[in-house]
Amino acid sequence: MPILSDKIMQKIENLRWSILLLLLTLNFSCDQFSKRIVRNEISDYENISIIKDHFTLTRVENTGAFLSLGDNMPYIFRLIILTGLPLLFLLYGLYFLFTKRNLPMTMQIALCFLIGGGVGNLYDRILHGSVTDFMHMDFYLFQTGVFNFADISIMIGISILLFQSLRGKMVQEEPMDKAG
């Protein structure tokens, strides 16, 4: 019997790896596919209204970080801070994702979104020297910077982790409230 259960466990682990790789690949591929279309079809700073002026496409090559932070830093600092550090974090994230077998499923999914989006933007920065951003939302009271699908993936991953963290705190606090 132990051999059978080892085979089953190996199949489960292989399935887990396959699903994680699929999620990572889908995040990265959607991001890169959309950016390729934008680079080929939209001129720099061209404005294309999708939903009146609430949702527009506008191509911006961002050499900085989120909202162009660090755009004016000297090249060597940008290279270290915007390429080197993210590369180290992403490599550690991949290591963590694939070596920690008992992570909650929601955390594994969140890490796939974070890493997939991070790799998409890092790939742009290394290959093109900038990250292609192209979506903008303006709802008068609320307006975003220009962003891309990698940014959406990263925000989804952060949201999942935040939700899981808050849910975990509520579950931990519940027994204390009943006792006190």
Active site residues: 133, 151
The answer to whether the beta carbons of residues 70 and 81 sit under 8 Å apart is yes
What is the C-alpha to C-alpha distance for residues 11 and 55, in angstroms, rounded to an integer?
A: 45
CA distances from 137 to 65, 85, 146, 158 (A): 19, 29, 8, 20
Q: Using CB atoms within 10 A of its CB, is residue 73 exposed (0-12), middle (13-18) or buried (19+)?
A: middle
Q: Which residue has the tokens 């060597």?
A: 76
Buried b (16+ CB within 10 A) or exposed e, 142-180: eeeebbbbbbbbbebbeebbeeeeeeeeeeeeeeeeeee
Amino acid 2 reads: P
* Best CA proximity match to 131, nearest among 56, 54, 78: 78
What is the C-alpha to C-alpha distance for residues 36 and 73, in angstroms, rounded to an integer?
A: 27
